[in-house]
Structure 1
Amino acid sequence: MTVTAIVLAAGQGSRFRAEAGADQDKLLAPCVGLDGVTRPVIEQVLVNLPAAVVERWVVTLPERTDVIRLAEAYGCQVLTLCSAGMGESLAAAVAASDNAEGWLVVLGDMPFIQASSIEQVIQGLSREGIRVPVQAGRYGHPVAFGGDFGPGLMALTGDRGARSLFTQADVTQVPVNDPGVLWDVDVPALLNYR
């Protein structure tokens, strides 16, 4: 099955800005990646996507020109919108890539996910399945959705994510040894992975 990645990068990052300054975009904040190289957060996310994920979309705000430039440099298609939240962004990206056999929902502020964890999540995805990584008993990201969930994903609105769809499927929990699946950069202190 060919899985299309949707990188959600249209949030305002208000908690990060409250601590770092109103002009600071967490997606562009420098952080040291798993490979020891310092890059912006969104670039670390794109670097960590495994080669098996060929089709990639980044959803972001029209004014985030540096994010758009990085996304295009990594071969991603870009969807710009002024989003009311995660649900709306996800619905728009699924609609734009509705020929996909499945989707991998990646958060643009999670720069420390191992590529091997992503590969485990997408491996064995079926049209009617949902696969989610589990670290220390907690659901993490990214989450993979089979093609049958297209209509449900496109019906999402506002800031509600796709967790509501979990009740409509036999969700496969994928155990991983990867704290990165739970690590989002909501505040500047979380830019340093330990």
Structure 2
Amino acid sequence: MILTGLLLAAGSSRRFGPSDKLLHPFRGRPLIAHAATAMRQARLDHRVAVISNPALSVHLQGFQVIRIVPAAIADSLRAGLAAVTGTDRLLIALGDMPFVTAAHLDRVARTATPDRPAASVDDGPPMPPACFPAAWLPRLAELSGDQGAGRLLRDLSPDALVAGHGLLGDIDRPGDLPG
């Protein structure tokens, strides 16, 4: 089985302020470095990152880097999908989720099946990181606008959900950073 990781990191960081949140220091490293490290440590055959800021590239060793202009979430997803070929499963993670671990990524990937995705969950709807079988990739490619894969995940059965145990926090505003 070929497992590809897709790290989405092409947002415009509007809610964070004038600087790119993914370069903001967090626990001694840029925010993006945490997500990239988790993906490097996960059991993946290939890694792709979609970015809009070329300054992020230095933190993405081991990734095929796709650069796009800042756009809607679905545009980033489609750009990443276009770079992915011959994979059996696609594990999608977000660059602004610094608490996600390689172990969590591996659990999500193992929970997906050839005919059903798997997703993460805490106190809310299913969310990334999520893993999609190859048969679902055309559905992902049909998404548009600022809707991510959430609508494809919302009806997953409980056995397709992996508890995040507090790892799923994302950083959208400076106040989201722990003190």
**Partners in 1 of 2:125 and 2:139 — Cα distance?**
24
Q: What secondary structure is seen at the aligned counterpart in 2 of 1:105? A: strand
**Does residue 1:187 correspond to 2:176, yes or no?**
no
Q: Mark the CA change 1:105 to 1:175 in structure 2 (over 3 Å): closer, same or farther.
A: closer
Query: Which position in structure 1 is the counterpart of 2:73?
Result: 86
Report how far residue 162 of structure 1 moved.
Answer: 1.5
Which 10-residue stretch deviates more, 77-86 or 163-172?
163-172
**Partners in 1 of 2:139 and 2:152 — Cα distance?**
7
Selected match of 1:58 from 49, 54, 78? 49
Structure 1 contact 4–103 (Cα < 8 Å) conserved? yes
**Does residue 1:143 correspond to 2:134, yes or no?**
no
Report how far residue 80 of structure 1 moved.
Answer: 0.8
The gaps in structure 2 that reach 5 residues or longer are: none
Query: Which position in structure 2 is the counterpart of 1:69?
Result: 58
Query: Which position in structure 1 is the counterpart of 2:30?
Result: 40
Matched length: 178
Query: What amino acid is aligned across from residue 57 of structure 1 in structure 2?
Result: V
The gaps in structure 1 that reach 5 residues or longer are: 33-37
Q: What secondary structure is seen at the aligned counterpart in 2 of 1:100? A: coil
Q: Mark the CA change 1:85 to 1:172 in structure 2 (over 3 Å): closer, same or farther.
A: farther
Q: What secondary structure is seen at the aligned counterpart in 1 of 2:57? A: helix
Identity of aligned residues (%): 30
RMSD: 2.1
Query: Which position in structure 1 is the counterpart of 2:5?
Result: 5
**Partners in 1 of 2:154 and 2:163 — Cα distance?**
22
Structure 1 contact 30–41 (Cα < 8 Å) conserved? yes
Query: Which position in structure 2 is the counterpart of 1:123?
Result: 110
Q: Mark the CA change 1:167 to 1:106 in structure 2 (over 3 Å): closer, same or farther.
A: closer
Q: Following TM superposition, where does structure 1 have runs of at least 4 consecutive aligned residues deviating by more than 6 angstroms?
A: none
Query: Which position in structure 2 is the counterpart of 1:27?
Result: 22
Query: Which position in structure 2 is the counterpart of 1:112?
Result: 99
**Partners in 2 of 1:136 and 1:168 — Cα distance?**
15
Structure 1 contact 132–171 (Cα < 8 Å) conserved? no
